[in-house]
């Protein structure tokens, strides 16, 4: 059977890995290449590299870091941040990315999803959505979670899949950085809505939070987190061993 995936996310700024609480107050942790190698060696199923500042100030990704990583790490790599055109897709794919994640760029130009999936295949296009509750509704936020677009999140996700997105990353701003567990309510709604893989992001603080995620939502495909892995609050190998004990399909 296919396994549930554990995905460490490396938020990169100025060539360094950073992670903030609710996206603010960023602080440096480690070198992206070294961290990527470390994660791969201890059982990460996939890695995500996000250039978190690129969508707000247009800074380009540090493609040499990506290239260096892809030379040494042989698990799937997803790249996001500042992806606004199919040329951006081309740029990161050439450096060794397997999937490209779109967020603000797709909000500005939804057709980007269609163009890219026709060119590179749906499997290559990941729609990442930052979501926050506003007046009892789920809203899509842009620019690294700083700007409320007013767009209703579930309809946006549905549209993204129709346009060709092959995977969805659901990042709950309400639970991100709080470390009290994933946003089960929101994630359940997304899993009921679409038939492409859904990756949960935002809120993991312990191994139990991942167990709760996979037990409560059997349809969820992967759990993504950053700081708890960087600061070794949760070791990926320990997490996967526990998943196996709980009869959750996992690659050990």
Instruction: Kindly state the smallest distance separating residue 183's Cβ from another protein, in Å.
Output: 20
Establish how many alpha carbons lie within 13 A of residue 169's alpha carbon, considering only the half-sphere containing its beta carbon: 29
Q: For residues 29 and 224, which CB has a smaller minimum distance to another protein in the complex?
A: 224
Nearest residue to 62 (alpha-carbon basis) of 44, 47, 82? 82
User: Coil, strand, or helix at residue 204?
Assistant: coil
90 counts as catalytic: no
Beta bridge partners of 21: 24
57 counts as catalytic: no
Q: For residues 22 and 122, which CB has a smaller minimum distance to another protein in the complex?
A: 122
Q: For residues 29 and 100, which CB has a smaller minimum distance to another protein in the complex?
A: 100
C-alpha–C-alpha distance, residues 83 and 108, integer Å: 11
Q: Is 198 exposed, middle or buried (0-12, 13-18, 19+ CB in 10 A)?
A: buried
- Show Cβ contacts of residue 91 under 8 Å, excluding neighbours closer than 6 positions: 61, 63
Instruction: Kindly state the smallest distance separating residue 116's Cβ from another protein, in Å.
Output: 12
Catalytic residue among 130, 183, 209, 221: 130
9, 225 contact by CB (below 8 A): yes
Residues found near another protein in the complex (CB under 8 A): 1-3, 5, 40, 45, 67, 70-72, 74-76, 93-98, 120-124, 166-167, 195-197, 221-222, 251
Instruction: Kindly state the smallest distance separating residue 220's Cβ from another protein, in Å.
Output: 11
CB atoms near residue 50 (< 10 Å): 27
Q: What is the DSSP string of 134-178?
A: ETTEEEEEETTTTEEEEEEHHHHHHHHHHHT--EEEEEETTTTTT
C-alpha–C-alpha distance, residues 8 and 205, integer Å: 13
C-alpha–C-alpha distance, residues 39 and 217, integer Å: 25
Instruction: Kindly state the smallest distance separating residue 209's Cβ from another protein, in Å.
Output: 21
Q: For residues 198 and 228, which CB has a smaller minimum distance to another protein in the complex?
A: 198
Q: For residues 93 and 248, which CB has a smaller minimum distance to another protein in the complex?
A: 93
Instruction: Kindly state the smallest distance separating residue 126's Cβ from another protein, in Å.
Output: 10
Residues annotated as catalytic (active site), given as ranges: 11, 130
């Amino acid at each position: 059977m296919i396994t549930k995936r554990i995905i460490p996310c490396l938020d990169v700024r100025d060539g360094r890995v950073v992670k903030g609480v609710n996206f603010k107050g960023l602080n440096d942790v480690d070198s992206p290449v070294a961290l990527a190698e470390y994660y791969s060696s201890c059982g990460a199923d996939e890695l995500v590299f996000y250039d978190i500042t690129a969508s707000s100030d247009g800074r380009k990704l540090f493609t040499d870091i990506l290239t260096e990583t892809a030379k040494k790490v042989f698990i799937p790599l997803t790249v996001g941040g500042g992806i606004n055109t199919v040329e951006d897709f081309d740029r990161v794919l050439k450096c060794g990315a397997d999937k490209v994640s779109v967020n603000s760029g797709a909000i500005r130009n939804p057709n980007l999803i269609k163009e890219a999936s026709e060119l590179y295949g749906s499997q290559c296009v990941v729609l990442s959505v930052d979501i926050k509750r506003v007046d009892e509704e789920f809203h899509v936020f842009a620019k690294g979670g700083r700007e409320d677009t007013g767009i209703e999140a579930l309809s946006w996700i549905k549209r993204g899949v129709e346009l060709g997105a092959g995977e969805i990353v659901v990042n709950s701003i309400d639970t991100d950085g709080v470390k009290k567990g994933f946003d089960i309510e929101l994630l359940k709604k997304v899993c009921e809505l679409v038939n492409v893989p859904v990756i949960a992001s935002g809120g993991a603080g312990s191994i139990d939070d991942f167990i709760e995620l996979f037990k409560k939502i059997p349809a969820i495909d992967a759990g993504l987190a950053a700081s708890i892995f960087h600061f070794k609050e949760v070791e990926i190998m320990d997490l996967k061993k526990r998943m196996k004990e709980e009869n959750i399909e996992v690659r050990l």
